Amino acid sequence: MRRTRLPAGFVLGAATAAYQVEGAWDEDGKGESIWDRFAHTPGAIADGSTGDVACDEYHRYPEDAALLRELGLGAYRFSVSWPRIVPAADGRVNRAGLDHYDRLVDELLGHGITPYPTLFHWDLPQWVQDAGGWADRSVIGRLAAYADTVVRVLGDRVATWTVLNEPQIFVVLGYAAGIHAPGLRDPALALRASHVVNLAHAEAVRAVRAAAPAARIGSAFKVEAAYPATDDPRDGAAAERHHALVAGWFLDPLLRGRYPVAYVDQEAAIASMDIRPGDMEAMATRFDFLGLNVYSRAIVAHDDAGGPSAIRRLAGPGPRTAIGWEVWPAALHRIVRRIDRDYGHPPIYITENGCAARDGPGPDGRIHDADRVAYLHGHIGQLARAIDDGCDVRGYFAWSLLDNFEWAEGYGQRFGVVWCGFDDGGRRIVKDSGWWLRDLAASGEIDYDDSLA
Ligand code: FCB
């Protein structure tokens, strides 16, 4: 084990997303989002729940800002709800929606907490979906206009903008697998939509940069280190295709001018995507940082029966969290090193990392989430190892500040470092993991095992 110190100025924070915590789903002129529509569809969510109330953060944000301060966390990553700002197809801006984030930002700053807003964390306005959603190019101008509106209002107090959260997940789970809103099961449509997302992403980055030239702009990408199942080169190639599908597909067109090889018949895939003259140029982008959402890893084998990418995922030997994801802290070190190498040593933030457990208050009224403490320790340790190796990592956000609405899983999977009593008036109780983060913030010191692979 090695003991080390996090760099001076390292940002330690916690993250949430609007639909998962806010509630107030139809208040103050908010329009319907695809997640409102989806969660209200019988059978869509594991426990039949919705985000109608969630953690009621829309009303309780002063309490949550105070909690962040109590935990010594210097930064809060939250997302802005697009349908609060632009509720309907006429494009009118809802001032009451903007006012909420105005107040939230002021509240955070009042507590000495730096706001890290994300512009889009999956709650697409239903009216945008009705016009074709991410599969229709009209979304490109709409996202840019929305981004411009928000950045002009908050930009005097916000220095760092995250544009999209996990484009890969909202395209694949929303358009191909039907597990997330809008619940479509159309892989061909998802592939075309991925290209529109990339175009819209680049255009939104331009809009934010034009509205706030001095701001630092990035996005949060889902990444997971892909470990080949064996040293057979075919498994190695399959692991590369997996990495390309998850990460490269949404990074490379923006940063390297091409789509990575993710399909056995790559030419056919590309030919089906409606790529038009000028698109590759229009996608060229520059980020001031890359946000990485890291939870687990993938063990990948070549399998001819494994769909258009000929991939099969294998279960690993590591322990599993309540949601079934393997715990493998070294995967965080590995993926940060890879992103550092592939994209020219960019500034990196871990924009999400955390684990699900079925926590609840014990007889002493407290929450002893030892598994989560071990998870955070292991992962932040491996992050520190990547920093000691020379990667330019600027910060880490725990997912999540609060237990919240975990999308298709509903309220059954608790990711918070603070417990939320959904049947108990929304009461908050700091878990042991929250106090552990406070101690880390105070000491700035962590140890890690540099023999893990
Ligand atoms: C990520 C999402 C986040 C949360 C975690 C557990 O994919 O970005 O909203 O649900 O997973």
Q: Which atom belonging to ligand 1 lies closest to the Cα atom of 220? A: 8
Which of 172, 221, 293 maximizes ligand 1 atoms within 8 Å of its Cβ, making it the mutation to test the pocket? Answer: 293
pLDDT score of 87: 98
The CA-CA-CA angle for residues 171, 177, 180, to 5°, reads: 65
In the block, tokens 């320790």 appear at 377
Distance CA 323, CA 355 (A): 8
Residue type, 18: A
Q: pLDDT band at 40, cuts 50/70/90?
A: very high
User: Average pLDDT for residues 263-288, to the nearest whole number?
Assistant: 98
pLDDT score of 104: 98
Q: Is the CB of 293 under 6 A from ligand 1?
A: yes
Q: How far is the CA of 181 from the centre of ligand 1 (A)?
A: 14
Q: Which of 32, 57, 352, 406 is catalytic?
A: 352
pLDDT score of 91: 97
Q: pLDDT band at 144, cuts 50/70/90?
A: very high
Active site residue 281: no
Active site residue 326: no
C-beta separation of 398 from 14 below 8 A: yes
Does this model's pTM top 0.95? yes
In 3D, which of 282, 279, 153 has the Cα closest to residue 205?
282
Q: pLDDT band at 441, cuts 50/70/90?
A: very high
Share of the chain above pLDDT 90, in %: 100
C-beta separation of 138 from 132 below 8 A: yes
Separation of CA 1 from chain center: 30
Digit-coded pLDDT (tens) for 394-430: 999 999 999 999 999 999 999 999 999 999 999 999 9
Digit-coded pLDDT (tens) for 179-190: 999 999 999 999
C-beta separation of 415 from 31 below 8 A: no
Q: Is the CB of 406 under 6 A from ligand 1?
A: yes
What integer best gives the mean pLDDT of the chain?
98
Q: Which atom belonging to ligand 1 lies closest to the Cα atom of 415? A: 6
Q: Which residues are bridge partners to 430 per DSSP? A: 418
pLDDT score of 4: 98
C-beta separation of 292 from 348 below 8 A: yes
Domains and CATH numbers, the chain: 2-445 (3.20.20.80)
Q: How far is the CA of 171 from the centre of ligand 1 (A)?
A: 14
Distance CA 385, CA 263 (A): 33
